[in-house]
Amino acid sequence: MNHLKILIADDDREIVDLIELYLAGEDYEIIKAYDGKECMEMLRKHEISLLVLDIMMPHMDGLEVCKTLRETSNIPVILVSARTAPLDKVQGLSGGADDYITKPFHPLELAARIKAQMRRYTELNPNRLHEPREIIIKDLIINVDEHTVRKGDELCQLTPKEFDILLLLAQNRGQVFSSETLFEKVWKEDAFDQDNTVMVHIRKLRDKLGDNARRPKYIHTVWGVGYKIEK
C-alpha cells in the first residue's frame, strides 16, 4: 500500500517521537529529521506529502528550509515554534508555510491540523496516488512527483501557484474552473478576496508556456465561465 509520507523536522527528539505517537493510527509513513540540513536531505530522498517543521533548528533554520522548499515544491508545511508574537507568525506564513502552531501545543491539535492540510492537498488531486508520474499535453510534460514542467527539452520556471493551477487543469481536462474555484482550491482561501489574482497568474503562466490567449494551445478561456484544458 502506498502510504502518504509525513516528514517531522525538530531538534527535540521527544517532540518528534510524541508527534509520531499521535499519528500512529493514521495511514501515514513518518520520516524524521533533527536539523535543517537533514530535513533537506530527507526531502530530496523521499516523496514527502507534508512537512512539520520546527523553526529553531541547528545548521539551517525552519524559515530557510521553507523558503528553499518553496522554490520547487508546493507540499503543505506546518511551522512549529516557541515564538508567539504575531509578527513571527506573519513572517512564517509569508515565507511559504500553510499553518503555524506555537509551543507548547497539544499533540491532538497538531494531528488535527495535519489531517486538515492533507485533506486540502489531496483535494487538489483526489487520485494523485494512482496517477502517472507524468501528464503529457501536446509538447508539454508535467511531472507530478518532481513538480516540474517541460516544453520539449526546455524547463519552464513556474512558481508553486502557477504549477498548482496548471496541474489542477491538466488533471481535470475538459472541466471548466471559474476564477473563484481556482482560487479556493489553489490558495485555500475564500474567493471573495481574490480580485484579479487568478487572472494575473493565468496570464503569467501562459507567457511562460508560450501560450497565446487568442489562439490557445493549452489553457482555453471559456468567456464568462472560467478556464480549462481541452481533453
Take residue 221 and report the three cell numbers written for it: 478561456
DSSP 115-169: HHHHHHHHHTSTTTTTS-SEEEETTEEEETTTTEEEETTEEE---HHHHHHHHHH
The predicted model gives 218-226 an average pLDDT of: 94
Whether 128 has a pLDDT exceeding 80, the answer reads no
What pLDDT is stored for residue 1 in this prediction?
A: 41
- Over pLDDT 70: what percentage of the chain? 93
125: which 3 cell numbers?
488531486
What mean pLDDT comes out for the span 153-167?
Answer: 92
| Residues 103/82, Cβ–Cβ less than 8 Å | yes
Domains of the chain: 4-123 (3.40.50.2300), 134-229 (1.10.10.10)
Residue 198: pLDDT above 50?
Answer: yes
Mean predicted confidence (pLDDT) in 129-138: 70
What pTM does this model have? 0.55
All cell numbers assigned to 36: 535543517
In this predicted structure, what is the pLDDT of residue 133? 67
Closest CA to 19 of 97, 105, 146: 105
Percent of the chain at pLDDT exceeding 90: 55
Name which of 97-106, 143-152, 185-194, 222-231 the model is least confident about. 185-194
Contact (Cβ atoms closer than 8 angstroms) between residue 142 and residue 149: yes
- Mean pLDDT of the 86-107 span: 88
- The residues, ordered by sequence, that sit 6+ positions from 87 with a Cβ below 8 Å of its Cβ are none
